[in-house]
Structure formats: C-alpha cells, structure tokens
Copies of this chain bind each other. A is one copy, B any other.
Amino acid sequence: MPLDHIVSILPELNKAFFETLYMVGISLTVSIIVGLPLGILLFVTDRGLFLEQILVKNVVGFIVNLVRSVPFIILLVALIPFTNWLVGTTIGPTAASVALSVAAIPFFARVVETSIREIDKGVIEAAIAVGATPWMIIREVLLPEARPGIIQGATLTLISLIAYSAMAGIVGGGGVGDLAIRYGYYRYDNTIMFTTIIVLVLLVQVIQLAGDIFSKIVDKR
C-alpha cells in the first residue's frame, strides 16, 4: 500500500473519524437518555411488577418493535420532517444523528430491559418491603444493580451504531464508514478501503475492551 497515499488521506480520515465520533456520540447519548427510561418502563410496567400497567407495557413494546422493524434507510427518510423540525437541517452529521438515535433508542431500551430483568426479584421486593417509593427503587436498586449489564448493552449499542453510521452517507453525514463506502467502494481506492476498515475494527475493539473493563469495575457482585 502506498504510504504517501495513506498520508494524503489522513486529514480526510481524521475528519471522518471525528464525524463518526460525533454521530455515534450524540446517538449514544440520546439513546441512553431516552432508551434508559423506556427500558425501565418496559420492565416496571410488566405483569406482577411494582408499576404494573399492562397497557403501557404493550403499547411501548409495540412501538419499540415497530421502530426496530423499519429498514434504517426508510427510517431515515420518514424522519426527515422531524429531523428538520428538531435540528433545522436534514443533511450532515447532525441530521444523521437523529435517525441513528431513533434507531438506537429501542435497541438500547430492550438491552436495558433485559439487564434489569436479570436482577433478583427478591432485591426489588426487599426494597418494596422497606417502604421505598417506585422512584427510589428505580434509582437506587434497578439502576445500580443493572449497571454492569447496562454498560455492556451500551457497548453493544455503540458498536451497532458505528456499523449503522456507515449509512450516514445517505444524508451527507460523513464518517469513517461512509468514507470507506464512497472512496473504498465506489472509487476503488483500496488504500482508503483498508485504512478505514482497520480504523473501524480498531475502534470497535477499543470500545469493546473499554466496555468490558468499565463494566467489570462497576460490578460489585
């Protein structure tokens, strides 16, 4: 591989790298902010739980499944008016982040739900028996107990987001994956193709490693 060619694309790669970080950063943040409460909601409103609301549970569950069934590109298009209203533009990394976030929210919500489901029901009952409010139980029992699983889930979401962010190119979002597609794929530039893929693979491995370590640190079991 011609080294000087690699050097010549470094500025672009660098830009793409930060675009990727920007997009997945925003999307992860949003999906945590929205998906976490949704995941908790899916759990606590379930049958036999302390905020049992089967209707809420079913409606939220349906919406989550719905968003997960729609192909990403369609989601991207369907969201254009919303994206425009929300961030004032339908192109660029910020706009791409909206669609990425919407796709990641239900995914992360399910991950959170699954993690919380693994908490021993006895611990929740003990909290109820102590006279704790639902809010206290959520904040001081469910979240701390599920923390290692939620961190693992956030890692999983982040890695999926990186894969999905390659599609940000559709709305001019840029990013490393898009760089790989536009230059590596469409313009037959194997140097860029391999360089970007190596960057992606490294990024994914680093994230996985960091997620594992972080999740282990907060795991007090």
Contacts and interface: CB of A to CB of B under 8 A. Distances in A.
Contact of A71 (B65, B78, B177): B177
A205 B70 contact: no
A77 B70 CA distance: 23
Contact of A185 (B65, B68, B77): B77
A196 to B, nearest CB: 9
A94 B77 CA distance: 28
A36 B73 CA distance: 30
A164 to B, nearest CB: 9
Nearest to A152: B114
B180 A71 contact: yes
A74 B72 CA distance: 16
A65 B180 contact: no
Interface string A181-219: 100110000000100010011011100100000000000
A69 B166 contact: no
A129 interface: no
A65 B181 contact: no
This chain: copies in complex: 2
A208 B73 CA distance: 22
B208 A71 contact: no
Interface string A168-186: 0000000001001100110
Contacts of A193: 74, 78
B70 A197 contact: yes
Given A65-B208, A204-B68, A74 B197 contact: yes
A137 to B, nearest CB: 25
27 contacts: A65-B201, A65-B208, A68-B204, A69-B162, A69-B201, A69-B203, A69-B204, A69-B205, A70-B163, A70-B197, A70-B200, A70-B201, A71-B163, A71-B166, A71-B180, A71-B181, A71-B200, A73-B166, A73-B181, A74-B166, A74-B177, A74-B180, A74-B181, A74-B184, A74-B185, A74-B193, A77-B185
Given A71-B180, A74-B193, 4 more contacts: A62-B205, A69-B204, A71-B200, A74-B166
